[in-house]
Amino acid sequence: MNVLHIVGARPNFMKVAPVMAAIERQRGVMQALVHTGQHYDANMSEVFFAQLGIPVPDLNLEVGSGSHAEQTANVMARLEPVILERQPDIVLVYGDVNSTLAAALVCAKLSVSVAHVEAGLRSFDRSMPEEINRLLTDQVADLLFTPSAEAGDNLLREGVAAEKIHYVGNVMIDTLVRLLPRANSAGLVNLPERYVLVTLHRPSNVDDLPMLRRIMDALDEISRQLRVLFPIHPRTRQRLHECGIEVTLNGQLQLMDPIGYLEFLALQRQACVVITDSGGIQEECTYLGVPCLTLRETTERPVTVTIGTNIVVGRDMRRLHREVDRIVAGKAKQGAIPPLWDGKASERIADLLVAWHHNRTSGQTVPFGADPTASHSGS
């Protein structure tokens, strides 16, 4: 079997690493990695490849930045000849970034099978570009690997055939489980006993400059109680500059350059609370048992709210303050780890891919995925 993985942005890297490692342990499988270059900053890309143990990409399309349309179109144009040349049996796409949708569309047009890792997640908010990417990718995918039970429910409601859907668990957690023992904050910062960790990158927060200013004012007030550590996404840094908010490396509100996965994980597991608009960090906090406050009106990962430690506070800065106060007072929400977030999702994916390829090449039909919302892989 010839497998091609397509990644383009930092969240993809944490998902592809364990899947490639699991496939490597299978017999008779060749695999290659294409990096679209959607994230081209070294702090957002190269350091992650090194820390996660991802092999050097076989090809980098170097699409760089641009509008959603430009990025998607550039990936499609540069990826099509790669697919035609390599003739993969199946292409794996990850998450919900522009590269994910672009690769899925190219493969659908060329009648090349697509597997979507982290399928079925829905925020039900189509103002989010990622939601459009998720919806369209799932409609053209041949195999849909879901991280949680409600993701399978979403797909079934949208008319996806049950036999395509496979509940495997969360590959992000596979990476966390593997690397948590190596996470080390030594030398990164002079950590206080209690601190808040912040990440922001969503357009609804950082491209809306009045909203960004309100968030920064709220963080400044919170920093009077607790040290606030804020590794800054490159686009967020640019928006802060446009707001006239000076970046400082001192004081209780400490703005930092982007850091590697291991360093961030070390900060995350020791934080008093994490304030974020990232989907993946909501999941990591749930696994780590760290309180998470999400600065979005919706989440495509509701299991982090219903089972985990996440609270969606929206754009309400007064509620943000109230929830931080509750956590500081020792009244943090208690969560649990969702089913199949056990560090073995990638192994389930590898097994399912081999079974899928065997069915295709042998002409046999082995039913699996009949119950995509059950708490098993369906294999």
- Distances in Å between the alpha carbon of 351 and those of 26, 41, 145? 8, 34, 12
Give a yes or no: residue 371 inside a domain. no
- Distances in Å between the alpha carbon of 3 and those of 28, 154, 172, 246, 288? 11, 27, 20, 47, 32
Give pTM, 2 decimals: 0.91
Give a yes or no: residue 374 inside a domain. no
Looking at the structure, tell me whether residues 161 and 277 fall in a common domain.
no
Catalytic residue ranges: 201
Looking at the structure, tell me whether residues 219 and 253 fall in a common domain.
yes
Looking at the structure, tell me whether residues 62 and 86 fall in a common domain.
yes
Closest CA to 88 of 60, 111, 116: 111
Give a yes or no: residue 43 inside a domain. yes
**pLDDT tens, position by position, 74-123:** 999 999 999 999 999 999 999 999 999 999 999 999 999 999 999 999 99
Looking at the structure, tell me whether residues 158 and 190 fall in a common domain.
no
B/e letters for 134-149, b = 16+ CB within 10 Å, e = fewer, are beebbeebbbbbbbbb
Give a yes or no: residue 368 inside a domain. no
Looking at the structure, tell me whether residues 153 and 243 fall in a common domain.
no
What's residue 40's pLDDT?
A: 58
Looking at the structure, tell me whether residues 130 and 160 fall in a common domain.
yes
B/e letters for 92-115, b = 16+ CB within 10 Å, e = fewer, are bbbbbbbbbbbbbbbbbeeebbbb
Q: Are 291 and 272 in contact (CB under 8 A)?
A: yes
Looking at the structure, tell me whether residues 275 and 346 fall in a common domain.
no
Structure token digits, residue 264 = 């961030």
Q: Which amino acid is at 359?
A: N
Looking at the structure, tell me whether residues 163 and 19 fall in a common domain.
yes
What's residue 121's pLDDT?
A: 98
Looking at the structure, tell me whether residues 149 and 8 fall in a common domain.
yes
Longest alpha-carbon distance in the chain = 66
Q: Please, which pLDDT band fits residue 378 given cuts at 50, 70 and 90? A: very low
Name the residue range of residue 138's domain: 2-170+341-362
CATH number at residue 12: 3.40.50.2000
Give a yes or no: residue 179 inside a domain. no
Looking at the structure, tell me whether residues 307 and 356 fall in a common domain.
no
Looking at the structure, tell me whether residues 156 and 85 fall in a common domain.
yes
> pLDDT averaged over the chain?
91
Does residue 234 carry a pLDDT above 90? no
**Range 128-135 average pLDDT:** 96
Give a yes or no: residue 149 inside a domain. yes
Count of domains observed in the chain: 2
Looking at the structure, tell me whether residues 87 and 199 fall in a common domain.
no
Structure token digits, residue 235 = 């686009």
CA–CA distance, 94 with 287 (Å, rounded to integer): 20
Three-state secondary structure readout of 138-177: HHHCCEEEECCHHHHHHHHHCCCCHHHEEECCCHHHHHHH
